[in-house]
Amino acid sequence: MSEDVLKINDLKVRYGGIEAVRGISFFVKKGEIVTLIGANGAGKSSTLRAISGLIKPAGGKVELEGEDITAKDSTTIVSKGLMMVPEGRRIFPNLSVLENLKIGAYLRNDDLEEDLNMVYGYFPRLKERSWQAGGTLSGGEQQMLAVGRALMGRPKLLMMDEPSLGLAPIVVQDIFEIIKRIHENGTTVLLIEQNANMALHVADRAYVIENGKISLEGTGKELLADEKVQAAYLGARG
Amino acid sequence: MGTLACGKVHIMEYVISVLLSGISVGGQYALIAIGYTLVYGILRLINFAHGDVFMVAGLLGIYLTATLPIPVSLPLVIVFTVLLGFTIERAAYKPLREAPRMSVMISAIGVSYLLQNTATYVTGGQPMTYPTIPFLSDTVNVAGTQTKWVVIITPFLVLILVTFLTMLINRTKVGMAMRAVSKDFETSRLMGIRINSVISVTFIIGSALAAVGSTLFFTNYPAITPMAGAMPGLKAFVAAVFGGIGSIPGAVIGAFIIGICETIIKGLPSNWDVSVFSDAFTFALLIVILAFKPQGLFGEAAADKV
Ligand SMILES: Nc1ncnc2c1ncn2[C@@H]1O[C@H](COP(=O)(O)OP(=O)(O)O)[C@@H](O)[C@H]1O
Ligand SMILES: [Mg+2]
């Protein structure tokens, strides 16, 4: 029971009259990589934003390692070990690459050397550019920086919102390789994607979100083989 | 001032004294301008109340030095001004964080009037004489011209304070957070940064510098009225725009340029009859420069706040 790192129960998000998330429940176990896939506007980002405290959910419960963190402020949530890579990377363009990494560890007061080396190990290119302003990096490099920044917070759960968005296919491959390695090295990952094919291949388990509700769930393999998923998300004909 | 000096020695002395006082006035504007530019950089808000906070700091200087010795009262002026700036942000701006920017601006104008009206109430609308601060008001001879120590000290003090501030912003964790928050509130939150604390820090710094500025400025000024913050506040704001609002070096350099221009125009021979137009000239100059460089000297190309 307590091996659920994240447990979401009947989460609801409303924007004025629009109900973007209509009662979603799912969980992520320690060591897993779980993906939420869904089309544009399905409510994926709203779900993540409600979990990380950026918006107040209209209902439901969010538990991190058994502790209720529903609608807590984001500082508290980050301090409990939940880090997010936001949609569109959102690196700080005016901060250097090194500062962008350090700011991911904003709430930590211990030595960052080891973690910096770990991040530079995943992304050697960031080390070469550590004095460059974040805004001067390419899209792919910015995505790596955003992932590295989140890792600097030593997350118990790393949440990523569409890390493949707007990147060239070859860069997407790189990013997914790294996600796999990060996961293999012991980080629990919640991955949000529209790129269902890539996401389902790396995921232990997956959920499909449609119109703010979960319509399907299963292991990555099961969903890859599912006809509805193939038709709607994998571009298969028939 | 204003009499046409004859003889080379006199002209030299005259030029030196005009430059000295221009640099000094500019330095005082700079201390106010930093408050505008810091707050704008982080909230995209023109804090119309800032000039009035400066005026209140002046009044605090009068009341506190009347009852307490200078070494106690001047630091207290800074403390109370900081408290005022902090409270204004929490009470008048923070509740409007999600509101349209225009609403916050109106709130700032409201605070500005509140401070002016309160000052009128407290002082009875009478011009108040700023105390003579020993040393600052003492005269000194520089290159043959008599001037007050405050004129000499101001530029150095400004340089020291700006150096510290720049180091704070570029080298410390809170400075890094200030730069992050100025770009992106939401992502800053995702890093665990408490953006309200960071915003408060900018108001605290801005108010503290305005308090220091008030002591320097009003030492050279006949009297404080409830409107005494309006003109220096406006000029400091223009200096900040001129330098590129959001940029600290821009605000400082802009303030020095405005202070020097203004003093030069005021110091032109009185039979030219231009000195009364010094403020209009200063603003005209700025308009011309901004026509060629709309973002100001050090401004960013676009407001890229997410
Ligand atoms: N700030 C907002 N205000 C109003 N509606 C929003 C807002 N953010 C998202 N929505 C709406 O909520 C729905 C879900 O959006 P989102 O969670 O961003 O979906 P996804 O990330 O799956 O593309 C969409 O219909 C979107 O238009
Ligand atoms: Mg999204």
Q: Do B173 and A75 touch (CB under 8 A)?
A: no
Could you tell me which chain B residue has the CA closest to the CA of A108? B192
Nearest CA to ligand 1 atom 16: A43
Is the model's pTM score more than 0.95?
A: no
CA B227 to centroid of ligand 2, rounded, Å: 51
Positions in chain A whose pLDDT score sits under 70: 1-2, 236-238
For residues A71, A64, B177, A46, the Cα torsion angle rounded to the nearest 10 degrees is -50
In Å, what is the CA distance from A69 to each residue of A53, B159, B238? 9, 47, 46
State whether residue A60 sits within 8 Å of chain B by CB: no
Q: Give the pLDDT confidence score for residue B275 in this predicted structure.
A: 79
Give the domain ranges of chain B: 11-292
Q: Give the pLDDT confidence score for residue B8 in this predicted structure.
A: 66
DSSP symbol at A234: S
Positions in chain B whose pLDDT score sits under 70: 1-9, 301-306
pLDDT per residue as tens digits for the range B157-216:
999 999 999 999 999 999 999 999 999 999 999 999 999 999 999 999 999 999 999 999
Q: Provide, as residue numbers in chain A, all residues whose Cβ is less than 8 Å from the Cβ of B177.
A: 103, 106
Q: Give the pLDDT confidence score for residue B5 in this predicted structure.
A: 45
| Domains observed in chain A | 1-79+192-238 (3.40.50.300)
CB pairs under 8 A between A and B: 57
Q: Give the pLDDT confidence score for residue A100 in this predicted structure.
A: 98
Least distant ligand from the CA of A41: 1
Provide the CATH topology of domain B11-292: ABC transporter involved in vitamin B12 uptake, BtuC (1.10.3470)
